[in-house]
Amino acid sequence: MWAFRLSAPAVLDKVSAGAPGPQALLDGQVMVKLAAGGLCGSDLPFFRGARNDVVPMDDESDYSMTPIGVSMHEIVGEVVASRDTALRTGAKVVGWATGMNGLAEYVVTDGASLAEYDPALAAGTAVMLQPLACVLYAVDQMGQVEGVDAAVLGLGPIGLLFAHVLRSRGASSVVGVDRVSRSEVADLFGLDRAVHASCDRWAAGIHEGAQPGLVVEAIGHQVGTLASAISAVAPQGEVHYFGVPDDDWYPLNMHQLIRKHLTLRSGTTLDRRNYLLQAGEYLRRYPDLMNCYVTDVYPVAEAQRAFESAIAPAAGRLKIVLEV
C-alpha cells in the first residue's frame, strides 16, 4: 500500500508498505480504505517536528522509526474489514484515525470513532463531519448558551464552526478574533464581528460591562491565548479551552479565576459515533456550510504541499482536504 512517513521536521515522504491484513484487527477495530482526509491544527506540531504522546517512538530523534501514516486523524473512507459489529464491510464512514495514522491507503482504527455518513456527500465534503462532531460535543458540555454573549479566539476551521453552532444554539452575540482577517466569511458563520487582531490586544481593549460571558479558546499550542481568554471573560463566566496544548503545564492567573468566579472547561470528544451522526443531521439543517467550509483540496500525492499550506494560515483559506 502507499503511505506517507515524516522523514524529518516538516518533510513527508511517500513510501510503500505492506497492507495490514484483517487478521491484524483487534475486537472493535476496523480497516478503512482512505478516500479523503482533513488537516487539523492538532496534526501540525508533529509535522513541524514536535513530539506526540499518541505516537510513541523508542528513539524520538530517529525519524526512520516514525510510524507510517502519521500525522492525520480526520478520515473518510470505506470499511474493508471489520471487527466492530456496528460497521459492515463496504460501509462509507467518517471519523477518527485513532492512531493519528490516516496518511495511508489502509488505516486501522477503533470502530467506535467512526460512523456511516450520507453517501450522497462527496468524500471531500464528508471530512467536515469530524470537526463538526467535536464542536457539537464541546458546546453540549457548556450547557445553556442561549442568550449568552460569546467570543471565539481563533477563526480557523474549528473556531468558525464554534461560531456557527453557538449562534444556532441561541447565543445573543458571537465575536471572533484572529490574526488572519475572516471578515469575508463572518456572516456565513454567524459572527456579529470578526476582529482582525491578536488575542491579547483584543482582550486589553474590552471595557468592564462589555465582557463576554463565554470565551472559547480554539487556538491552543500556547499559554498566551488562554491567558487572554481568562482576562477577557466576564465575572462568573466560562472559558472553554478547546485548543491542543503543546506543553504539559500551563500557568494560570489564579487571582482572576478566583476573584471573577470563573469556570474553566476542557476535554476531548467522547461518544464519538453519536456525535458524528449528530453532525450529519446538523449539516442537513445547514447545507450552506458545505459550500464555504472546505476551501483547498489537494490530491493525496501532494500531501507535502497541503501541510505546508496548513501551517501558513491565510485569508480565504479554511479547511484543507486531501483526496485519493
How far CA 173 is from CA of 187, 194, 215, 290, 302, in Å, comes to 12, 12, 12, 23, 40
Q: Are 307 and 47 in contact (CB under 8 A)?
A: yes
Three-class secondary structure of residue 101 per DSSP: strand
Q: Are 80 and 89 in contact (CB under 8 A)?
A: yes
Q: How far apart are CA 89 and CA 319, in angstroms?
A: 29
Mean pLDDT in each 10-residue stretch from start to end of the chain (324 residues)? 95 95 94 98 92 74 86 97 97 97 97 97 98 98 95 98 98 98 97 98 93 97 95 97 89 94 96 98 97 97 98 97 98
Residues 6+ apart with CB under 8 A from 182: 155, 160, 176, 191, 194, 196, 315
What pLDDT is recorded for position 85? 96
What pLDDT is recorded for position 208? 85
Q: How far apart are CA 128 and CA 319, in angstroms?
A: 8
What pLDDT is recorded for position 60? 74
What pLDDT is recorded for position 58? 67
Cβ atoms within 10 A of the Cβ of 78, count?
15
Q: Which domains does the chain have, with CATH numbers?
A: 2-127+293-323 (3.90.180.10), 131-265 (3.40.50.720)
Question: Pick from 61, 98, 136: which is nearest to 289 by CA?
Answer: 136
Q: How far apart are CA 302 and CA 298, in angstroms?
A: 6
Q: What is the pTM of this model?
A: 0.96
Tally of residues, the chain: 324
